[in-house]
Structure 1
């Protein structure tokens, strides 16, 4: 099977004009901290080149509880009961927040919405049930051409939890987003979506610069997985350069890289 690999960055590390001339994929990060204005969304949609793909990180209030330090960057607190936000709970507050994210995704023609939950999200019978209900509700209102991806951390990606995670992802057609240098996806739907946070201890090492050997290994891991469509998003300090080098390695191999 011939792989199609699209490479990009999490956010714009350089001017957008320079970025568009280098990559054909970006994962928007500003959508995580605050919902952008409709004017900004429409302006961005008009300026992007033909064939350029946008994905977006979901609004933090859906994934992170109100006590999360990331909430300090919220320009305006969401309405409703603050304790009902975060951790993919199937509350009215989270579902309404998802509807707002969805509205932006549709206007942007975003291909993927990324749900990245913190390590603090509990793994228990209760959280398993509420996560299932959350995905049941959001998949019923999300257009089929938008892939929903989940990047869980903490207890959700250890030991016996992985089989439960796979069951949930498979039941609701959610793609498992991973950093391949830390773990492999347990279920893929639509797109093999990889976010690279730097190699090291813990979940992130943003200052890490990928070596050519690392990038060769990344390609080998993609071959091993063998999924047809792959989105590779660099999310480290050196993302722009690392992404360019990975693209060149793929070109030199004759791979269909976009």
Structure 2
């Protein structure tokens, strides 16, 4: 079993991250379409490092999402976003794939908003984009009201990303964990994981068997928590 511990974004210098951790999930690719030159530069900086990337919000979020305030050079239309299997979204997906390609990402992560309802067309969208690159989907909020839809999407080969301290890890050779902190609601970015929390994560990881697992922290203390988990996993091996 291979375990890759990392952070969502760069909370420290890139060099520090490359030296101390196993992976980074790029967040800049969510707010803006990837810049191919920037993607190539990151890959050249760390040829053996594992990058994943969060998919551009033009595919996942509604046109009125406040997150678009940080977006440059793209104005979403009514047929964009929310995983709709429209020609506009499928064209945008191809543009995203081409732009992010120089990074050679291990996984592309779709994170949908909590308000997204479990519409049947979500399955149709993923059926149209699977193949060629590993993709993961982190459902949130409303979407979890239809677990059958999530299972059907997983059957397409889509990795279902979860927080293992909140939801049971789904089966599969590749697993993708995103940890947003504990407490009320689905996220608590100011939460710092305790030794007991990290021991629980380590226990879950050792119970998974063969395959590969990405453990990506997405909280204020992501760097410190990722390092602590790596130390704990190393101690368990000795």
Bucket of the pairwise TM-score, normalised by the shorter protein: over 0.9
Partner of 1:178: 162
1:95 to 83, 90, 110: 90
Q: How many pairs are equivalent?
A: 238
Report Cα offsets for 1:111-132 as digits up to 9, x if no partner: 1000000111112xxx21x112
Partner of 2:100: 105
Distance 1:101 1:187 in 2: 28
| 1:63 and 2:50 aligned | no
Structure 1 residues 9-158: aligned runs within 5 Å: 9-48=7-46, 50-78=47-75, 82-123=77-118, 127-128=119-120, 130-139=121-130, 142-143=131-132, 146-158=133-145
Aligned to 1:36, what secondary structure does the other structure show?
coil
Structure 1 residues 160-239: aligned runs within 5 Å: 161-170=146-155, 172-188=156-172, 190-239=173-222
Q: CA RMSD in A?
A: 1.5
- Deviation at residue 24 of structure 1 after TM alignment: 2.2
Distance 1:111 1:96 in 2: 22
Distance 1:86 1:187 in 2: 28
Gapped regions of structure 2 (runs ≥ 5):
none
Report Cα offsets for 1:35-87 as digits up to 9, x if no partner: 13222112111111x421110000001000101111111112247xx111111
Report Cα offsets for 1:79-121 as digits up to 9, x if no partner: 7xx1111110001111111112211332211010000001111
Distance 1:184 1:26 in 2: 23
- Deviation at residue 133 of structure 1 after TM alignment: 1.6
Given that residues 123 and 152 in structure 2 are in contact (C-alpha distance below 8 angstroms), is that contact kept between their aligned partners in structure 1?
A: no
Distance 1:17 1:206 in 2: 24
Report Cα offsets for 1:144-186 as digits up to 9, x if no partner: xx2110001112223xx1123112221x110100011211233
Aligned to 2:237, what secondary structure does the other structure show?
coil
Runs of 4+ in 1 over 4 A off after TM superposition: none
Report Cα offsets for 1:16-44 as digits up to 9, x if no partner: 11111101211000000001322211211
Aligned to 1:61, what secondary structure does the other structure show?
helix
Distance 2:211 2:45 in 1: 29
Gapped regions of structure 1 (runs ≥ 5):
none
Given that residues 27 and 53 in structure 2 are in contact (C-alpha distance below 8 angstroms), is that contact kept between their aligned partners in structure 1?
A: yes
Partner of 1:249: 232
Distance 1:254 1:101 in 2: 39
